[in-house]
Structure 1
């Protein structure tokens, strides 16, 4: 899952990036609206965390700008302001949820996952496509009731493909799920990981859940719920 963090406090921004990255999220971190808009244009985002008290263009204006530009990813407001008017203004601008500082990281992560599930059309904390199941909170994949041993990168690809089930996903989109912007990207890694995933998901090649669409990308072809 790709998360945009927009926070002008250097320490908090660094803390959020480190903590979210350690939990398997891909994080783009921006100290202001200008950089945030760059990331939103250049990368496919799943959710954004935006502080209201940004320098220059404030958080409310940034949220309105994203929505006017047609950006539909869910947005969580971070605010040190406790009054209800600020929360209402943020939600009216187009945000989906809010947290008041200080907050617990576990609560932020739970809200991120809930918003991302709803945006993808999933209500529960699992994604199921018989005989496969993903536990989104524990980042664990199962076949029937048997846990699958996946690397962090393998899990990231599988989760993204299942979230976008029955949709052709280009190799470039998958590459962006694997790498942060500061790391040199290697699209050949995707082919290797897809091969490994196929062997782990379907060693007998009986279901072929991941289909290669020649010249376009890959598709998780089983319906998910």
Structure 2
């Protein structure tokens, strides 16, 4: 269908109205880091904390997305870029719905992450570098992926045969080979409260938006 025949429909229930009803801003918490660094573990633990605070949330996990939305993509550099592009567009829909989107993806290329930042807009994209040494990630290797990558069974594996470009100026850095999951969750919560995205416990919900 030609794009000239496609028109944007403006809803009457807007994002600010949804955020006002929720009592918090909708933002994207973008967890990036090596496989095994703890991205998904922390994202889900953080969602539990946010859910207990009454927040509207969703976690988008790299493996889960590749079972559906991005099932047709491989792990070439081109496919990785398309994978992140699709996720960015999906996150934008969740933010418009007033939902806090927690995204846990290796997302190895700096430019791809910056493209999502530009798409969502400054302030809506919070880059969280889940930093962990390669040695520690390999030691954990809960999925056996590093072992298979070292054996040449998995091509284009980030950190082994494909590069990982660490964030240059992330909003939050979580050192998961030094701190507990609970400590990392607390660090993110402090950031959200400090930025006025989430109202501290005991504060007025309306003041958060």
The TM-score normalised by the length of structure 1 is: 0.40
The structure where strand makes up a greater share of residues is 1
By relative contact order (CA 8 Å, sep 6+), the higher-ranking structure is: 2
TM-score (norm 2): 0.43
